[in-house]
Structure 1
Amino acid sequence: MKSKLLIIFLKELRETLRDKRTLGMLAMFTLLYPAMIGFMLHQGIDRSTKTEREGIELAVIGAARAPTLMAQLGQKNITVKDTPAMDEDAIADLLREKKFVAVLRLPDDFTENYYAMRPARIEVWFDSATDRDRQRGDVEDVLKLYGANIASARLLAHGVSPAALSPIQVQRYDTGTNAARSAVVVGSIMGILFFPAFMLSMSAAVDSTAGERERRSLEVLMAQPARTWELVGGKWLAASMLGIVGVTLELILAHIILKWLPLEELGMSWSLGWGELMLVCLVTVPLSLLAGAIHIALAMNAKTFKEAQTILSIVLIVPFIPGFIVSFLELKTADWMYLVPMMSNQTLVKELSKGGDIGSLPFLLTFLCSAIPALLLIAFASWRMKSERYVLAV
């Protein structure tokens, strides 16, 4: 004989799955957030490799005045297009076509100043409204190197070592790994995947509590020989199941996308294995249970269906607050972060993405910080359901 809790759970789950809007929301959140993460990272990779794939096209006015500079630009995969003289308006029109990264203009007195060892001006015209700052930076690096080579040659011609201008040589050694550098970025991006735990269970929770009370079907259900904790527990598990399934599928899809993307092009990596991902999915289950418990407890105390929706819509903002504060204050990871629901899940993913061994305590704290409040809320809701005031909405 099936337990009454299981019977109520299956009944509520069956009714929830009949709602096409709920299934549509489940499918949307399951696919939307991983797709957004993949798209944003793919765009970043595409921009970072655009220079190597397409090269840089540069318009130069007066290119014949600096043949050595033109040769150095060609060595850096920068295609130089000799352009006739034009005024400022014509240069602006040329840049708006977005064919050239920038326009270099060497004035008529460039050669004279160069041989007279006076500063020879090179004008760099560009359009800051276009997203080509990195390519323009490559051009300016060549110009700086060109100027440094000229200065070194002139010093040698006067019997002065160029090293005299660099009394200190700074050498940089970066001990950070790709995983450590990408932990903050990827960990923050992955944090959004936990939010649907609160979104997906809201509709089912409101409909099975405030909705049933408005339809007067709750009175029939409470007339059955079942304890209040069995009634509340069945509704709670049915509402939470959507969040559990949705978040688990999101994490799996995001993991597949991050493994597939060439994050090395951005100096990043995704080091989680399938075993660690399954542990993350496991400790995330209580977060969905907590979300369902919050929705059930609040919706039960709302007098109408619309009032319950309004209250829960406001409550959806709360899970974002701790993570936003920590990011704004740039706090380092501490043990107390594993005691705050949702923030603990974000922190866990961020630390795991660094590739180190964090031990079992963060997993345990992440599991318990959501599981214990969820059970307490359901206990409160079960006690609340014993009151006739709740059933009569007075």
Structure 2
Amino acid sequence: MPFPIFFIHPPKSGGSTVISFFDLNMGKDRFVNFVWDQDGWGSCRAKLLENGIGGGHHPFGIHRAIKHPVRYCTILREPLARQISHYWYAASGKNGEVKRGVSVSMPEALVQQGAMSLDEWVGESLAGKNLFVQMLSGHPVLNESSLALAQSHLRQHIGTVGLCENMSEFLLRLAGMSRLKLPFYFEANRTIGAPKGDIPLSDAARQKFLEDNHLDYELFHDAKRLIQNQVDEAGHVFSNALELVQVIQKEINRLENPHIYSSMVFGFDEAFLAKVKSVIGRFDLAPINAYLEFAQSRQPVLADMFEGFVDTVHNGAVTGWAVNLSRPEEKVPLEVRLGDEVVARGWSGESRPDVAGAGYPSAHSGFSIPLPAHVQGGFHVAIANSPESLNNAGIWRQGWHCA
């Protein structure tokens, strides 16, 4: 059975609209909106495994928290456009949701009160600096390897990435990956009262934003190249399907939409979902079905997902545990790296009933890797042939963990 899909939902990048696609295909409230608290995780995990689809404003790595592999998808947006959109969303009181008790940050509150300008907001990247790299790397604090890790995740673990600016194209490819049949949406949570046309933003604020968020721009352009390669590979079978999708989407957009300025937190209206489906039902979907059949016959092979922990460095060996969540019966190849140099290798496979008792799918995940005598410090433990390091595997020295 395919692994469940987890949608990494960057704020103000069209995520609520993406969720309308899932509701159209799977029914109202089947999408599991994840929460951070531990009690919520248990309930969300159970629903995700049952329903097969969920997501939230969470970075790459939810497979570690739920101890189960997932197929990731995500959507990106031109970084400055996303930053500006968030400003006007805050100014609107998050489309009125603040009055209903939705939380706001201090900068968002100042924007709503009219006490912070767009220049101040953009110049300081107050809706998040290099947010896409943070979310796709899973690094809460960026370092020199964060961009490379985000790019690796984009290619190896994220089954479909799309652009907010090309929603129909994204959803058509996402339908191909997810085996869902209807690559359509209706717009949701558009900002009330957002100004149209040119935005009054100073050149100084714009330039500072571009400099401060250069990692996001590298990732954004990398995603655009990756998408174009996939579209080119599919050729006319994709372009024919997309042409029909866009025709049908124009008809859907003519409906009176009750969700255009509202959050999906309270669920989509079932009567409106039925109206959207009735529009779709007027068309022959043969070109779309042809692409979906093509895409499903060429599913990308995603890399395995791992979890692990470095426990100790003692008596000349580094010990811990590692699990291949995708194939838990297999041993995990490990490397001890000093910078870019591999100084020792080993495998999991030792008995660790405590790991299985904690809910991980293997009781033989332990490892103990002897260290060369000359390696006294500065090393970390990683999955072999991967940029992924184990948890608690920053910079170690013999006998103690220092970073």
* TM-score bracket, shorter-length normalisation: under 0.3
TM-score by length of 2: 0.22
**In terms of Rg, which structure is larger?**
1
